[in-house]
RNA sequence: GCGCCCGUAGCUCAGCGGAUCAGAGUAUUGGCCUCCGAAGCCAAGGGUCGUGGGUUCGAAUCCCGCCGGGCGCGCCA
């Protein structure tokens, strides 16, 4: 297997540093890929970083450093600008990546750096009181991609869904269904205050054959019905969970009670106005929080803490919760509650990825209503309108914390403007080339690559080379949008190459070499798409 | 009012452990299919990186103020 040229350059730089500036032998080395071709394939600003500390002139220091660097993967480094050191790879090293991709196949880009460390990603966690809305869709797309990214880096990931199937909102659901079953419509006399008005309530009422006066039975039926619906939506979205954790089980197993007792025992609680409060201000909250209301019932805060205690006790030293920014106030609170328990949980545990809300537009207008849900657009609506792949790709293509406007027209009516098709098209196009060629891609792994001389080919190889580090960074930062942007760039570079050069040329050596490069591009596109849950079609 | 997040090209957005960082898509304009898929490619125009200070040899990037927008500020979840 050809070694990674970047790793080799880094090692060579390290060795040179040890010789020229022993005191800084372990300084962090940043190797970048310059945009401009005349700055080489890789470049470092290490001389600029260290010159100041060494009290030396950057350019002079860079020259000295460059002079003592040696390696067989690259040409003699050049010093440029104020003191950058630029590296140009030798052809063999540059295209070595092709063999690596073809050898590793679907695992190209994956690593074992996670060492099997268990991580739990909790996401969606919608109340079973209605269909999933677009915000849940963003969470599903983000959470699933983050989970997959972590798996790609060697973590053992558990995808978890927390069902808030206990509490006041479930009562409201039961009453709404009950009213519907009795023929009462929203707004009419006898309709529950703040009841759920969506069409799905009517569906549930119609399906319910039992006694409308049996509220517990109505509740059981409605919750089960909506869970099935949500499961179907998630299945249509291609998202699977390993664990569904029921809030109700926290009560039936006495975990809520236990946590309350432990909080009292911690001495961090006090009585005021007939309620029991926790001193969360001791842990950075801006005000203390009620844990037991004056009517004797608990606030949702208590089961929340109890739930997180179970995560810790289940052995997850690392937990990532994906939530909307509308819940960001719970971050401090949950952590504070956990701290008060004194279980040795780190103050910053669990981690959170907060995403801004999603706005849906169509025909230039914001869409707020959907028949199915009554007051919001559902994930299912979106999938019906634009297809699963487009929804997935769109929702993951922006930073979590930027507000997202989902333009239905853009994703649907003018599909040629749709970025997901652009990437998928590159993949389908490649498949078409291979179909036309008719040979066996497996034979390309050991083909001679000396015929690859073009700038576009070099650029493609460089992009392929970049994939593993892009993936590692995306996983580290829980930022799937990095993958979407990478795929866009790789697809663009391929389309450009495809238009400029013919792949199936007569010259056998050149044709094989180009096919090998193309096979590597196709593999990497497929790998990246799978990370964000988007299909890689052979035909479109 | 307080807390968190966000202001980058007409529009939608990357870049934000400082330098080789002024970028992509889209829109507009002009080119490219007797040739492996034109859902594609090539080219042009377009930005005082919200604003005012500060740190630095060097700031879209770090710090402070201000302006604008989002979310939160329940004995709701």
**What whole-number distance in Å separates Cα of residue A393 and Cα of residue A371?**
25
In angstroms, the CA A486 to CA A464 distance is 10
**Structural domain for A109, as ranges:** 95-113+417-531
Residues A503 and A457 in one domain: yes
3-state SS of A336-368 is HHHHHHCCCCCCCCCEEEEECCEEEEECCEECC
Looking across all nucleic acid strands, the nucleotide with the smallest C1' to CA distance from residue A503 is B36
Asked if the structure places residue A362 within a domain, the reply is yes
Considering the domain architecture, whether residues A76 and A52 belong to the same structural domain is answered as yes
Report chain B positions within 7 A of protein CB atoms. 2-7, 12-16, 19-21, 23-27, 32, 35-42, 57, 70-77
Q: Which of A392, A416, A440 is the last residue of a domain?
A: A416
- In a shared domain, residues A473 and A382: no
Cβ neighbours of residue A231 closer than 8 Å, sequence gap 6 or more: none
Nearest protein residue, CA measured to C1' of B6: A402
Q: Are residues A468 and A389 in the same domain?
A: no
Structure tokens at A120: 């739990």
Asked if residue A70 is part of any domain, the answer here is yes
| pLDDT (0 to 100) of residue A414 | 53
Contact residues for A391 (Cβ-Cβ < 8 A; gap 6+): A137, A141, A237, A379, A382, A383, A411
Q: Looking at the structure, do residues A426 and A477 belong to the same domain, yes or no? A: yes
- pLDDT for residue A2: 46
- Residue A406 belongs to a domain: yes
- Using DSSP, state whether A399 is helix, strand or coil: coil
A455 within some domain: yes
d(CA A9, CA A124): 43
Residues 113-152 of A with CB under 7 A from strand B: 127
- Same domain for A496 and A441, yes or no, is yes
The reply to whether the CB atom of residue A88 sits less than 7 A from any atom in nucleic acid chain B is no
Are A105 and A15 part of one and the same domain?
no
- Indicate the residue among A389, A416, A443 that finishes a domain: A416
User: How far apart (Å, rounded) are the C-alpha atoms in residues A341 and A67?
Assistant: 59
A401 within some domain: yes
Q: Do A423 and A525 share a domain, yes or no?
A: yes
Considering the domain architecture, whether residues A437 and A478 belong to the same structural domain is answered as yes
Residue A231 lies in a domain: no
Residues A412 and A456 in one domain: no
**Do residues A338 and A309 touch, judged by C-beta distance below 8 A?**
yes
Average pLDDT along chain A, 540 residues, taken 10 residues at a time: 73 86 78 76 84 78 86 85 84 89 96 95 92 92 97 97 87 91 88 85 92 91 92 94 94 94 94 93 91 92 96 96 92 94 92 90 76 80 90 92 83 69 95 94 89 90 93 94 95 95 94 96 97 95
Do the beta carbons of residue A465 and residue A493 sit within 8 Å?
A: no
Same domain, A379 and A477: no
A32 touches strand B (CB under 7 A): yes
Contact present, A363 and A409 (Cβ < 8 Å) = yes
Q: How far apart are CA A113 and CA A150, in angstroms?
A: 10
Answer whether residue A325 is part of any domain: no
Closest residue to B71 (CA, C1′): A326
A281 touches strand B (CB under 7 A): no
Asked if A159 and A150 touch (Cβ cutoff 8 Å), the reply is: no
| SS3 at position A31 | strand
CATH number at residue A432: 1.10.730.10
Q: What's the angle, vertex CA A38, arms to CA A33 and CA A40, rounded to 5?
A: 40
Q: A450 and A500 share a domain? A: yes
Count of domains in chain A?
3
The predicted pLDDT at position A45 comes to 85
A400, A416, A432 — which closes off a domain? A416
* A283 domain-assigned: no
CATH code at position A20: 3.30.1360.70
Torsion of CA A429, A433, A434, A436, to 10 degrees: 130
């Amino acid at each position: 297997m050809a070694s990674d040229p970047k790793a080799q350059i880094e090692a060579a730089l390290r060795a040179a540093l040890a010789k020229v500036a022993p005191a800084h032998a372990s300084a962090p080395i940043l190797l970048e890929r310059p945009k401009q071709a005349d700055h080489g394939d890789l470049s470092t600003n290490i001389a600029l970083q260290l010159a100041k500390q060494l009290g030396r002139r950057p350019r002079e220091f860079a020259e000295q450093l460059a002079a003592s660097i040696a390696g067989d993967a690259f040409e003699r480094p050049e010093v440029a600008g104020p003191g950058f050191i630029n590296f140009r790879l030798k052809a063999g090293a540059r295209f070595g990546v092709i063999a690596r991709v073809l050898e590793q196949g679907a695992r190209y880009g994956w690593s074992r750096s996670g060492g099997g460390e268990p991580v739990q990603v909790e996401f969606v966690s919608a109340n079973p009181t209605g269909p999933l809305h677009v915000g849940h869709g963003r969470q599903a797309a983000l959470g699933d991609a983050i989970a997959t990214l972590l798996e790609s880096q060697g973590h053992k990931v558990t995808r978890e869904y927390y069902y808030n199937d206990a509490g006041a909102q479930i009562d409201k659901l039961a009453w709404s269904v009950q009213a519907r079953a009795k023929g009462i419509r929203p707004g009419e006399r006898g309709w529950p205050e703040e009841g759920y008005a969506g069409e799905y309530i009517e569906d549930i009422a119609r399906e319910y054959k039992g006694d409308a006066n049996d509220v517990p039975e109505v509740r059981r039926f409605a919750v089960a019905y909506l869970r099935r619906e949500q499961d179907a939506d998630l299945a249509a979205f291609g998202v699977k969970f390993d664990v569904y954790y029921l809030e109700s089980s926290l009560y039936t197993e006495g975990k809520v009670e236990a946590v309350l007792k432990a909080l009292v025992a911690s001495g961090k609680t006090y009585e005021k106005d007939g309620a029991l409060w926790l001193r969360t201000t001791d842990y950075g909250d801006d005000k203390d929080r009620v844990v037991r209301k004056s009517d004797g019932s608990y606030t949702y805060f208590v089961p929340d803490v109890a739930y997180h205690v179970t995560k810790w006790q289940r052995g997850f030293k690392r937990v990532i919760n994906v939530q909307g920014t509308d819940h960001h106030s719970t971050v401090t609170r949950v952590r504070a509650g956990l701290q008060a328990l004194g279980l040795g949980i780190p103050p910053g545990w669990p981690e959170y990825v907060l995403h801004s809300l999603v706005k849906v537009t169509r025909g230039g207008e914001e869409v707020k209503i959907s028949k199915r849900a009554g007051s919001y657009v559902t994930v299912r609506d979106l999938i019906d309108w634009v297809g699963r792949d487009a929804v997935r790709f769109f929702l993951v293509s922006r930073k979590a914390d930027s507000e997202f406007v989902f333009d239905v027209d853009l994703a649907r009516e003018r599909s040629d403007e749709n970025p997901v098709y652009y990437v998928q098209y590159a993949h389908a196009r490649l498949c078409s080339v291979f179909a036309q060629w008719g040979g066996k891609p497996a034979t390309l792994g050991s083909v001679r690559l000396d015929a690859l001389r073009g700038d576009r080919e070099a650029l493609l190889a460089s992009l392929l080379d970049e994939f593993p580090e892009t993936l590692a960074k995306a996983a580290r930062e829980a930022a799937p949008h990095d993958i979407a942007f990478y795929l866009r760039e790789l697809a663009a570079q391929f389309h450009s190459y495809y238009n400029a050069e013919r792949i199936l040329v007569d010259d056998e050596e050149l044709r094989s070499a180009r096919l090998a490069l193309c096979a590597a591009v196709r593999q990497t596109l497929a790998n990246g798409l799978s990370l964000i849950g988007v299909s890689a079609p052979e035909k479109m």
